[in-house]
Amino acid sequence: MEVDTERQERYFIVVRRSKKGLSRGSILRADAETAAGDLIGMVYGGGGITRSSGSVKKDDTYPLSRHQAQLLLFVSPASRRLELMCNVQLFSAVCDLTQDDLVVVKHKKDFQPCLVKNLVQVGKDKPGVLQMLGFELSLMEGEEDILLKKTVPLPFFSAADIVQVVPSHSNTRQPLRISSDLGLNSKAVSRIYSMPALNFRNAKKGSTFSNKNVSNSIQAMSHYSLEVGSMAEVISLNGLTVYGVIRWIGVPDGKKNYWAGLELDNEVTTCSDGTLGTIRYFTCEGNKALFVPLTNCKPDSRFLFISNEIQKPLEPPSVTLLEDLDEDVPPVAEQDVLSHLVGRMRGIQGHFNSCYLDATLFSLFTSSIAFSRMFNRSADSEEGISHILRRDIVNRLRRSGFVPADSVMKFRKQLGCKSFATDEKDPEEFITLLLKHVLHIEPLLKIRSRGELSQDAYTHQIIVEKNQMGAVPSVQQLLEMSLVSSDLKFGEIPSCLIVQMPRFGKKFKMFPKIIPSTELDITDVLHCSPRECFVCGHLAEYECGQCLMDHKLQPGKIKQYCSTCNTQVHTHTSRQEHTPHKLTVPDHLPEDASIQRHQMQLFAVLCINTSHYVSFVKYGADSRSWIFFDSMADRCGDDNNGYNIPVIRSCPEVGDFLSQSEEEISTADLSQCSELVSRLLCDSYMCLYQRTTHL
């Protein structure tokens, strides 16, 4: 009977906001379908209670099995149902959960490893009502010993509470199913699958892995060979999964079994720098070396997940659902970046020469506010490229912290020229295309040449001669020199200023090191903006490019003078050949008016090293709020069957380094600095600045 019903009943979840009033995440049992493509049926509210009959366009829905519908119904608010479905792999694993599977749930802001005990039916069982399904879980042993005395029984968990699944791989593996003889009792909660009490004998206190079921799960997965260099994961005592690379395998002093030494992705306070006891087995950064029995390690599930994905392309829901998310997701807030973004398999996944694009998109959209408003202005069709960018890349990056390679490829294929989907391109070419043809933004820079309007641009290429600058110039100095020596000015303050470093082709760098100024003062390169005389501080009327590098006059600083000082400075014999330009200054400005400075903040630096682009992003106001992103930091598998592993690292040391004076930075011994500091200083390709709101 149950089976028949299941076949006839068709369930759908509303993925697009409906004109007829059904909100996203609503679940509908369709009883009929009209010729126009409308589904008509029962809409279920919270608690499985039939709210009303309703109709919705079939295009705005995604089909569900009855079991899925019941699991999702217990998830609230309804928008979380869609989030869960977006994670296709996790959702399907949750739907297939069986007794004794190990899951990690988010419980009271904590991550808790649990075993699945039962599938429970929540709510009264009445005809015409769709019962919600939840999970009854038991705490892992060890955890239970500690918590038993002071905690009440665990609540029932919804499918969306489960953040990770480790199948038990037991021989008797049967998905939890509603059995047909559990009929129409009216208890608020019915246990659908009655299970014997779990056996916790021989418990070893404090060990998360002493439970037989868990060991089984791990052993079941150990046919994936783990060796030195393998990426592995371990569930730590507090229930969080930690990830790392196996750096050492062997039998440590005083142990009998094989152990693994992992270098973790992130620091854990109780970890070492490669020593166990008094013996060093390998060397890594402090607080990153974790030693555990080899049987406690299993292959990094995030990559198993991806390799499955590659074999079986993603089912439509991930795309359908994300396409629907029509609200703009704001940039990732400073306080959320470390938990939300940092780690392996984070950011934008690189694929097939895409690093130029990954690094650029990551720089522009992760946490910068510069382009937040641009999306709202652009308007093209539902399937247009700007919508793909917004929904499948930017919103996804900000919401989930990870954009799979196929989303990026979908976007690349729409960029007009086929080579954008295949070749390594220059970021500036991509930025112009992106801003002009995808987002339909006016050129960011209004350039004036000798006071006259000149061509507009999206980026500014620094053009200087090497002998005009010091050995380690800053972006501030380069920009001023580049503009002054060509007599160019910005017509207005740009919302975003993208500066290309003086380097040509992939290899030639004019300067081995460039200091990425964290603040760029553009007051002196603005057209018709009041400026101070370099000498006396009065309103300046002349500017002299040749004075800029004069060794007697604070070389590297832009020089402008009032007419008195201009005459005086240029009476010096060494400067008589100079040709100062007259500045355009605003009319009617009192001579002693205070002059407002205009500053822009560095928010990202794109770097290139042997034709591979990576990016540094300053994600907040704190000087140490820096992350590093590489869309191809690591790779799993070979060239043909593998995939790239994008990695985001926190690098506060970059902020510390840049907080020093230019003098200290230019003389710093890079061999004593972290690798990332050195890359930032030596490999910069493009520096991105934004005007912040308080200016």
Interface residues with Zn ion (CB under 5 A) are: 533, 535-536, 544, 546-547, 562, 565, 575, 578
Express the helix, strand and coil content of the chain in percent, nearest 5 each.
30, 25, 45
- The residue (of 231 and 558) whose beta carbon lies closer to Zn ion is 558
Q: What SS3 class is residue 520?
A: strand
Q: Of 86, 612, 651, 687, which is the active-site residue?
A: 612
Give the whole-angstrom CA distance, residue 368 versus residue 160: 30
Quote the least distance from Cβ 526 to Zn ion, whole Å: 19
**Whether the Cβ atoms of residue 364 and residue 614 lie closer than 8 Å to each other:** no
Quote the least distance from Cβ 438 to Zn ion, whole Å: 44
In SS3 terms, 22-83 reads as: CCCCCEEEEEEECCCCEEEEEEECHHHCEEEEEEEEHHHEEEECHHHHHHHHCCCCHHHHHH
- What one-character DSSP code corresponds to residue 500? E
Give me 694's structure tokens.
Answer: 């308080």
- The residue (of 264 and 484) whose beta carbon lies closer to Zn ion is 484
Q: Of 355, 544, 565, 636, which is the active-site residue?
A: 355
**Whether the Cβ atoms of residue 559 and residue 547 lie closer than 8 Å to each other:** yes
Active site residue 496: no
- The residue (of 370 and 533) whose beta carbon lies closer to Zn ion is 533
- The residue (of 109 and 551) whose beta carbon lies closer to Zn ion is 551
Burial classification of residue 400, based on how many CB atoms lie within 10 Å of its CB (0-12 exposed, 13-18 middle, 19 or more buried) = middle
- The residue (of 58 and 575) whose beta carbon lies closer to Zn ion is 575
Residue type, 438: V
Give the whole-angstrom CA distance, residue 530 versus residue 237: 62
- The residue (of 173 and 552) whose beta carbon lies closer to Zn ion is 552
Pairing assessment for the beta strands 50-57 and 452-457 based on DSSP bridges:
unpaired
- The residue (of 186 and 579) whose beta carbon lies closer to Zn ion is 579
Quote the least distance from Cβ 556 to Zn ion, whole Å: 14
Give the whole-angstrom CA distance, residue 561 versus residue 601: 27
**Cβ partners under 8 Å of residue 634, min gap 6:** 231, 344, 644, 645, 647
Q: What SS3 class is residue 456?
A: strand
Give the whole-angstrom CA distance, residue 409 versus residue 40: 37
- The residue (of 44 and 561) whose beta carbon lies closer to Zn ion is 561
Quote the least distance from Cβ 288 to Zn ion, whole Å: 55
**Whether the Cβ atoms of residue 112 and residue 54 lie closer than 8 Å to each other:** no
- The residue (of 374 and 562) whose beta carbon lies closer to Zn ion is 562
Q: What SS3 class is residue 344?
A: strand
Active site residue 538: no
Quote the least distance from Cβ 470 to Zn ion, whole Å: 18
Pairing assessment for the beta strands 27-33 and 275-276 based on DSSP bridges:
unpaired
Quote the least distance from Cβ 539 to Zn ion, whole Å: 9
Quote the least distance from Cβ 433 to Zn ion, whole Å: 40
Bridge partners, 628 (sequence order): 616, 649
**Cβ partners under 8 Å of residue 676, min gap 6:** 616, 628, 649, 651, 653, 654
Quote the least distance from Cβ 468 to Zn ion, whole Å: 14
Quote the least distance from Cβ 568 to Zn ion, whole Å: 8
Select from 478, 469, 484, 488 the least CA-distant residue to 543. 484
Burial classification of residue 434, based on how many CB atoms lie within 10 Å of its CB (0-12 exposed, 13-18 middle, 19 or more buried) = buried
**Whether the Cβ atoms of residue 155 and residue 171 lie closer than 8 Å to each other:** no
Cis, bond preceding 316 (omega within 30 deg of 0): no
- The residue (of 57 and 578) whose beta carbon lies closer to Zn ion is 578
**H-helix or E-strand spanning residue 164:** strand 162-166
**Whether the Cβ atoms of residue 372 and residue 680 lie closer than 8 Å to each other:** no
Quote the least distance from Cβ 570 to Zn ion, whole Å: 6
Radius of gyration of the chain (CA): 31
- The residue (of 595 and 670) whose beta carbon lies closer to Zn ion is 595
Burial classification of residue 588, based on how many CB atoms lie within 10 Å of its CB (0-12 exposed, 13-18 middle, 19 or more buried) = exposed
The DSSP code sequence of 169-231 is: --TT-------TTS-----SEEESS--PPP--TT--TT-TT-SHHHHHHHHHHTTS---TT-E
Quote the least distance from Cβ 462 to Zn ion, whole Å: 22
Q: What SS3 class is residue 466?
A: helix
- The residue (of 342 and 548) whose beta carbon lies closer to Zn ion is 548
Give the whole-angstrom CA distance, residue 594 versus residue 615: 38
Quote the least distance from Cβ 491 to Zn ion, whole Å: 25
Which residues are the active-site residues? 355, 612
